[in-house]
Structure 1
Amino acid sequence: NEYKIPELYAARKKLTKLFYYNVGIYSKAFHEEEAEQSLNDEVQILDLEKLVEHVANKDKNRILNYLKQVFDELSAYKKLNLHSLYLMKQEIMQVVYADLMNQGIQATKLFYDEFSIKLADRATNSTVDMIRWVNYLLEKTFEYEDEVAKAATIIEKINKYIHEHYAEEIGRNEISAEFYLTPEYLAKLYKKKTGVNLKDYINEYRIEKAKELLRAGEKNISMVAESVGFDNFTYFSTLFKKMTGVSPKDYKRN
């Protein structure tokens, strides 16, 4: 029998929709009706309290084993489909992102790179993709949390960043974005570990670099101010005198 164009289009549309709801697992295809039924049956897939506990303990293996157990249970009840994987993904992100936020880390920036986005987009394609994404998500989360916990390491990196970018317009917002931290947490952490306000350290470093340039005598004072990150000459002069006891003009002359 020959198919008419509208019938072919309808068949293609149905197959495309069927493919969209397909999830590769145990060589089993999951159909649209199963996904639609699950919309009404499931509002939560995972035991969030258990997940929160495992994430807090940084127990990646236990989390992955728990997810595989959930896959088996869902498969046994014929509820393993696109929608259930989507719900699992959202629940995992909810728990992990909350854990990061509790430590002052901005999850959306930590996972904003192309590779992270690609893995996240593929997570609901199959249980294999889900496990691959969760494994990556947890490894990156736990590694960065450990790095932040070792405050000396993160402070060294912040100082290095300031030393390399002091001539630019930088403050706690710009620096916190570079290290995936909230501005408030960054400022608090820096003050706690160094005893110095972040803004004060930036200004102190800029003034030290300004002193070097003034001693070299190759630039006038306004050019020096601009070279070390000050776009307001009056503010630069006031701050310079406050920190050194003399004006930039007198410092250069002497």
Structure 2
Amino acid sequence: MKIDLNADMGEGFGPYTIADDAALIGLVSSANVACGYHAGDPVIMDRTIRLAREHGVDLGAHVSFPDRMGFGRRKMEMALPELECHVLYQLGALAALAGRAGHRITHMNPHGALGNLASADPDIAGALVRATMDFDPEIALLVLNGSALEAAAHAAGCPTYALFLADRAYTQDGQLAPRNLPGAVIHDPEEVVARVLHLLRTGTTTTIDGTELPVAARSILLHSDTAGAVALARCLRARIEDEGGRIAPLSQLG
């Protein structure tokens, strides 16, 4: 079985860093690069793109609301045409730097509040799909199973890959549990690894209220800003391979 292991990267600003991207890049197969809205800047984007290309890692756009102070985790009210422009702006910035480095965008993964809203709200989901397809209809969207974003992408003929967030709890409807709920963010590395192995063995995950939820994931997401992210990625990759899995970029999953 081939599965993608991806991480959010480039989430610093100027001289400030939030994660060890240089160490993490060799352990994952795809990277979602912050496009300057919730984190990142042109120099960091350029450096992260080049790291990805050097290691044969697929390049994704990690688009967000323009919310650096809140790290993109605060909901913003926008008219849908305005939101589409903001998504296109971020895709264009990443693509310009990627083209110079000889790399290209293969996928898009909305960050934080924008991702949560796109998973639940068909209108916002549609705006993200339209913007992505207007930019490049070959770019795949990373989506939650059964989400509004998955439905909008399928309706428009946009390619998708189902995503599983290794360190986030799920609700019964397949959405991410709100961060303010106890247990919504999983900090224990052993529990994170156990959740992923359970998913790969059974095709399900245990929700925050203890029920089993079917999940047909093709990509496993690690948050690079999680404490011990590099050690966790190394352990998770080894355990997946011990189970007979093969880590491969999204573009090689077929």
Relative to the length of structure 2, the TM-score reads 0.25
Higher normalized contact order (CA 8 Å, seq sep 6+, divided by chain length):
2
Structure holding more helix per residue: 1
Structure holding more strand per residue: 2
> Rg larger in 1 or in 2?
1
